[in-house]
Every structure is written in C-alpha cells, then in structure tokens.
Amino acid sequence: MLKRTLIAVLLVALVGGGLFWFSLSKDERNLLAHMPTDRNVLFWSQDQRDAAFRTLDAIPILAKARVIEAGDTVYPLPQGEPLDLDVADYMRSQRTAALVIVHDGKVVLEEYGLDFGPEGKWTSFSVAKSLTSTMVGAAVKDGHIKSLDDKVSQYIKGLEGSEYDNVTVRQLLTMTSGVRWNEDYEDPKSDVARFNEHQAEDGLDVTVSYMRTLGREAPAGEKWVYKTGETNLIGVLVSEATGKPLAQYLSEKVWAPFGMEQDATWLLGSTGREISGCCVQAATRDMARFGLFMLGGGVAGGEEVLPEGWIAEATTRQADIGAPGKAYGYQWWTYDDGTYAAQGIFGQGIFIDPARKLVIASNSNWPRASMGPEGKAREAFYKQVQAAIDARQPSTD
C-alpha cells in the first residue's frame, strides 16, 4: 500500500507533467490512474473512491486541509482476547477498508481490506458531524456558548434576517430547524450536491452564504430533516464562538490530550473553514479512541471536556426520525437500547455500546452512498458482535 505522503508527491508530480510514471509499480499506477479529476465526491466511480478515500486531503482539485494535531502521549490500545468472529464475508460484502473492535479498552478484532492498513487515514464523511457536535459541548463547558437555547444568529455573522434568525443552537444540533433542505446524495440538483460549489458572497463564509438563502418548510423545532449544511453551520458557530479554527479546537480539547496516535486533517471549504459536516481524514484506530473518549465520560488528559450530563443528552433521543427503535440526538444516531453511533455515507462509522464497554470503528466504500443494503447489514453485524461479547461473559447464575 502506498504511504499517504508518497501519494501526495506522486499526485503533484503527475499533475505537473506526468513525471516518474514509468518508474511506478503496477499497483501504484493503478491507484493513481483512478484518482478523480472533478470535485464532486458523490458522483465519483467506485474505483475513484477506492483510490481517493485514503488520501482525500492530498488531491489537488479538492480544498486544502487543516491539521488536527495529536499530542506526545498515545492512548494505549492493548490486545485483548480475540473475538471469536469470522468477518471475512462481512468485510467483502461491505467493501470494508478497516474494522477495529474494542471491548473493555482492549482490541479484540482488527482487520483491514482494500489494500488499506492501520497507518492509513480514511475520510470520515458524516462521522465528522458527531465530532463537531462534541465541540459544541466543549464550547459550552468553556463558556463560549452560553446556552443551547440561544439563537444561532447571535453567533454567526450573516444569518440575520434569514430563516435561521429564530432557530436555536439546540434545534441546529438536532436538525429540527424546519428550514427546507434536500439531502439526496444521488440527485445532482440536491442541496447536498450543490452547496459546496456555491460562490460565497463577499465577506461571508460559504456555508452561511448558501444557507441564508433557504426557505422554511416547517416551524422550528417541529420537524426533523437530515441536513449536512446545518452541521457546517455548527462548525462556523463553534469557530466564531471560540475564536479558533475547528481543527485546532478539536486538537486542544480531545485529539492531543486524549492521546490520538496520529495527526488527522479536516478539509476546508472555499472560504477557509472546516467542512464540519464531513471530511476528517483519520486513522481508524483513532476513531475507535474517540469512541473510548465518549465511553469514558468525555475526559481527556484528566480534564472534563464536556458539561455534566452532555453525553447523556447528546446520545439519547432528542428528535423522532420515524424509524422504530432509532432516533437522533446531538448529531449522533441513537438507539432505544442505549447504544449510539456516528455514521458517514459509503460506510464510515463509530458504534458505541456503553453497557458492554464496546466500540466498533469501521471504514468502507459501499457501492452507493446510503441507499443500498449495507446499512441494515452493518446494524445486523453490530448485533452479532454484541452477541459474541455476551457469550464470552461469565454467567451470573
């Protein structure tokens, strides 16, 4: 597998005139031959996604990225007793690049595919939403955001007079703003397909410039609709409230003090802010560590990062999504059995089961963004892992 730095160098070399092509191995040529030449990730081919998802922040046609710096101390992930589970067929059907299962703080299963490995960084897509919402909690704890019931226009320049004028931070977190939005990943005319290509008005963040034009479809607080654009607004809100780039704030509050092993990166939009509803490039083991940070009550470096009760609120039912046993919290998908998950299109995820002290981090490249059978199969796999964990527990009879 190519190192990320080598990929970046080769991409620059190829873009600059095709140098070194004939010195590359067959695998290196095949990977680079499938690198996309347009910006619209949603409509890349499967081969292009296989090549690009491991190095999104090195592709010249995409926005620049900001580093999420790791610290000097690494949170240990010792090996535990291997989980008795054959995952070969599951990983093949999911087109899984990485699967890391941690039980009681120990790695009980770790497998890789698609020529990916533990040193690589895969793009998160909407898993980033859960990281972003956690930074809202940190900003509340630090006093930068006074209340979740504040209007978002108090914090974000340019939303005054738009439909977001009467939307609260809490409603933004729960995606119940009532503002009209189309998240159809397979429709090139949908909001989610178009808004990253929007040309910002002078002096405004590109997300703010787009979102302020949207109309209303329901009263604020009454209807849940999944909106990536609103998570991007949350990132702007945190950045404005703290006076720091989102990647820097995440590094200071969690990434460095908790002990992530590798630096991560966060793609930037055209006006220089993190695309906070998407696009963190991180090692899968570090995504598992983020799950452990949540399991541990939001403590990093011995400091409580989040307000008392934040995790309980963020990871339990706050909005009805019309699915039995499942709901939405503060940018986390919640289940009525007490488990919760961060999820990204094409098969990225962190599943957290507090009762079992279980974290499952995975990265994949599904054939379709979200409409195929893989999502239900992944939830069935979570149940399978839970059953395997339960089977190894000593009987209390």
Per-residue pLDDT band at 195 (split at 50, 70, 90)? confident
Q: What one-character DSSP code corresponds to residue 63?
A: P
Q: Can you give the pTM of this predicted structure?
A: 0.92
Among 22-36, 83-97, 252-266, 292-306, where is mean pLDDT lowest?
22-36
Mean pLDDT of the chain: 91
Find the angle CA(383)-CA(108)-CA(344) to the nearest 5 degrees.
Answer: 55
Is pLDDT larger for residue 112 or for residue 15? 112
Per-residue pLDDT band at 3 (split at 50, 70, 90)? low
Location of each CATH 1.20.58.710 domain in the chain: 140-235
Q: Is the pLDDT of residue 101 over 80?
A: yes
| pLDDT for res 27 | 59
CA separation (Å) from 136 to 147, 153, 234, 303, 310? 10, 15, 8, 16, 10
| pLDDT for res 15 | 47
| pLDDT for res 34 | 73
| pLDDT for res 90 | 98
Mean pLDDT over residues 62-84, rounded? 94
| pLDDT for res 32 | 63
Closest CA to 296 of 144, 146, 134, 174: 134
Give residue-wise pLDDT tens across range 5-45.
555 545 544 444 444 444 445 555 566 667 777 777 888 99
Q: Residue 377 is encoded by which pair of tokens?
A: 């199969």
| pLDDT for res 191 | 85
β-partners of residue 360 are 101, 351
Mean pLDDT over residues 249-276, rounded? 96
Give residue-wise pLDDT tens across range 161-170.
999 999 999 9
Give residue-wise pLDDT tens across range 345-380.
999 999 999 999 999 999 999 999 999 999 999 999
Among 125-134, 179-188, 240-249, where is mean pLDDT lowest?
179-188
| pLDDT for res 309 | 97
Mean pLDDT over residues 248-271, rounded? 97
Residue with tokens 């429709």: 187
Complete DSSP assignment for 48-116: HHHHHTTSGGG-TTSPPEEEE---SS-----B-SPP----HHHHHHHTEEEEEEEETTEEEEEEE-TT-
Which CATH number among 1.10.20.10, 3.40.50.10490, 1.20.58.710, 3.40.50.720 corresponds to the domain 140-235?
A: 1.20.58.710
Q: Is the pLDDT of residue 393 over 80?
A: no
CB contact at 8 A, 311 and 297: yes
| pLDDT for res 183 | 84
Give residue-wise pLDDT tens across range 326-345.
999 999 999 999 999 999 99
